[in-house]
Chain A
Amino acid sequence: AQSVSQHNHHVILSEAASLELGCNYSYGGTVNLFWYVQYPGQHLQLLLKYFSGDPLVKGIKGFEAEFIKSKFSFNLRKPSVQWSDTAEYFCAVMGSTNAGKSTFGDGTTLTVKP
């Protein structure tokens, strides 16, 4: 079975602050990892993904995430957040034997104060 845990339920930051959202997964094998963002009132959109190769992946809008296999983690980072980054962020895992089945974390609400 695969599972995902997001440690922060609600994060509040001021503009220009740095962001790190935690994500840990559980799966006994090779994984594909994703971060999705959901802006208020909108659908989920892909921020970035990790399949293999360089564990530091860069996504859209200045976001990046680092896959640390030894820690089963895939934390999301951004050096300087903007008010427009206010959204819900979801981490998701898809195990190598679970093609097409992504398991989502419970989400982190990010509020950026102008």
Chain B
Amino acid sequence: DTAVSQTPKYLVTQMGNDKSIKCEQNLGHDTMYWYKQDSKKFLKIMFSYNNKELIINETVPNRFSPKSPDKAHLNLHINSLELGDSAVYFCASSQGYSPLHFGNGTRLTVT
């Protein structure tokens, strides 16, 4: 059973489009995250939700909007996609101080 699953795995789209990435975890964790990994492999936190409440919102363009309908789901919607948004986006979950459990990533390519 996949603990943290995200879809789609690959996403190719044109500049200006709007797209969404979905994430679900079945670990019962209270906290979920979105991380962005750029072409140099740098990993940066974007958002974190705890029990559907936004607790971390790093410096991210407001074109990115997370939504958490319940504590097992955290989706990421991106408006007006730009070339610089191309990256791998990882969803993750954790409980308190526990290590992060990552999803398999969504490779977003904006052309």
In the complex the two chains form, what is the Cα distance from A42 to B41 in whole Å?
A: 12
The verdict on B34 contacting chain A, using a C-beta distance below 8 Å, is: no
Q: Which residue of A lies closest to B95 (CB)?
A: A100
The secondary-structure label for the interface of chain A is: strand
With contacts A43-B90, A107-B42 taken as known, whether A101 is within 8 angstroms of B99 at the C-beta atoms is no
Q: Which of A44, A51, A88, A100 has the most CB of B within 10 A?
A: A100
Contact with B along A38-53 (1 / 0, CB 8 A): 1000111110010100
A49 touches B99 (CB 8 A): yes
The verdict on B94 contacting chain A, using a C-beta distance below 8 Å, is: yes
B90 touches A32 (CB 8 A): no
Which residues of the partner chain B approach A94 to less than 8 Å between Cβ atoms?
A: 97
Interface stretch (choices B13-21, B64-72, B76-84, B100-108): B100-108
B105 touches A34 (CB 8 A): no
With contacts A43-B104, A44-B90, A44-B100 taken as known, whether A90 is within 8 angstroms of B31 at the C-beta atoms is no
A99 touches B97 (CB 8 A): yes
With contacts A44-B90, A99-B96, A99-B97 taken as known, whether A104 is within 8 angstroms of B104 at the C-beta atoms is no
Chain A residues within 8 Å of chain B by Cβ, number: 24
CB contacts under 8 Å to B, within A59-99, are 88, 90, 92, 94, 99
The verdict on B50 contacting chain A, using a C-beta distance below 8 Å, is: yes
Of the candidates A51, A90, A100, the one whose C-beta lies within 8 Å of that of B55 is A100
- Return the 9 tightest CB-CB contacts between A and B, nearest first: A43-B102, A46-B99, A104-B43, A44-B102, A100-B31, A107-B41, A43-B104, A32-B97, A43-B105
Sampled A-B contacts (30; CB under 8 Å):
A32-B97, A36-B100, A38-B41, A43-B90, A43-B102, A43-B104, A43-B105, A44-B100, A44-B102, A45-B102, A46-B99, A49-B99, A88-B41, A90-B43, A92-B100, A94-B97, A100-B31, A100-B48, A100-B94, A100-B96, A101-B48, A101-B56, A102-B45, A102-B100, A104-B44, A106-B40, A106-B41, A106-B42, A107-B42, A109-B41
